Amino acid sequence: MTKPAVYLETSVVGYATSRPSRDLVVAARQQITREWFALRAQRYELFVSQLVASEASGGDEEAARERTGFLHGIPRLGITDPAGELAAKLVESGAVPRNAAEDALHIAVAAVHGVDYLLTWNCKHIANATMRQAIERVCRNANYEAPVICTPEELMNDEQD
């Protein structure tokens, strides 16, 4: 039996590697993310894209080094022409706002490569209940199955221990 595939969006990498925050919501997300990697990640095939690698390498030099080190050894899915075309459709349809075109590309890469889950803490443009149906509809109309878009907390609760 093959393991389900998970695309790690950049926000998850950030929460997994950043210094503990004093903000309670951020600190909780950091803890949940770290627990997910400690307790659940081995149940999945993990993937990122060059977009994740590029985003992770930006910002504070030390933090970028932590994020890029974290990504070492995780296979990268290609940003193919079909992924670019699907991302454009997600934006053109309004399923993802124009100012979040990179978020549309994360979704498209995962969908085109047949990934089961897209793991993210980006609840504004990706893991957003009001946008989910539109994202799924655009993917379906383009003959792709949208990944299940979820947070590490949602994928943590995949079974009772």
- Tally of CB atoms within 10 A around 151: 21
Element (H, E) at 149: strand 148-150
pLDDT in tens, 38-49: 999 999 999 999
- Work out the angle between the directed axes of helices 129-141 and 81-92 (0-180°, nearest 10): 130
Tens digits of per-residue pLDDT, 81-118? 999 999 999 999 999 999 999 999 999 999 999 999 99
| Residue 49 DSSP SS3 | strand
Residue with tokens 């990697």: 37
Query: pTM to 2 decimals?
Result: 0.93
The string of DSSP codes covering 102-132 is: HHHHHHHHHHHTT-SEEE---TTTTS-HHHH
**Domains with residue ranges and CATH for the chain:** 5-156 (3.40.50.1010)
Six token digits for residue 74: 């995780």
